Amino acid sequence: MQLLKDRILKDGVVKAGGVLKVDSFLNHQIDVSLYREIGKEFYRRFENMGINKILTIEASGIGIACVTAEAFGDCPVVFAKKAESKNLDGELYTTKVTSFTKGREYNVIVSKKFIGKGDRVLIIDDFLANGCALIGLMELVEQSGAELVGAGIVIEKGFQRGGEIIRQKGIKLESLAIVESMDEENGVVFRN
């Protein structure tokens, strides 16, 4: 998605430790018109696949999932919550995810009320790095008995292993920009 790639080149900042900061338009301050274009692009890539539910994870995925849902004609968005262990009960699907940016493990939960058999789910997230967040969301879908249709990622860091792991599982993974390499000196290089 050229609009997104141009914006990353213009405003993205490469940090030490393999982190790409896109705080000025995606992760902190939000460019809503860019979000809308992202939503339309996900729709274009996943239309006519019977998707009736969009699943994401708090916090950065929520806005992106909402504009995507709007492009799909307002299908519901469910966001997995990061939860303390003591709050977990039997009415939840739960799994554990290790955060790439924070370097710690946390529980993620989805209420059984909101996803179940018969649902056709599209997972949406902002970044794909090692794949922990996405694999966690996939586990929640599996627990629910719903069908995973695919996953849409705004920025995939292609030099980390998440994309390869997910594609090897035969999942339809669509990333709108794939970073082939990046460093503080030379900036970002995209995969073609």
From residue 114 to residue 153, what is the string marking binding to ligand 5GP with x (rule CB under 6 A)? -----------xxxxxxxxxx-------------------
Q: Pull the structure tokens for residue 129.
A: 């790095």
From residue 47 to residue 66, what is the string marking binding to ligand 5GP with x (rule CB under 6 A)? -------------x------
Least CB distance to ligand 5GP at residue 19 (A): 4
Least CB distance to ligand 5GP at residue 46 (A): 19
Taking the least distance from each CB to ligand 5GP, the nearer of 22 and 123 is 22
* Size, binding site for ligand 5GP by CB under 6 A: 20
In this structure, is the dihedral angle defined by the CA atoms of residues 58, 62, 64 and 65, taken in order, positive or negative?
positive
Least CB distance to ligand 5GP at residue 136 (A): 8
Counting contacts by CB under 6 A, is residue 162 touching ligand 5GP? yes
Binding positions for ligand 5GP, 86-105, rule CB under 6 A:
100-101
Least CB distance to ligand 5GP at residue 82 (A): 11
Residues in contact with ligand 5GP by the rule CB under 6 A:
19-22, 27, 60, 100-101, 125-134, 157, 162
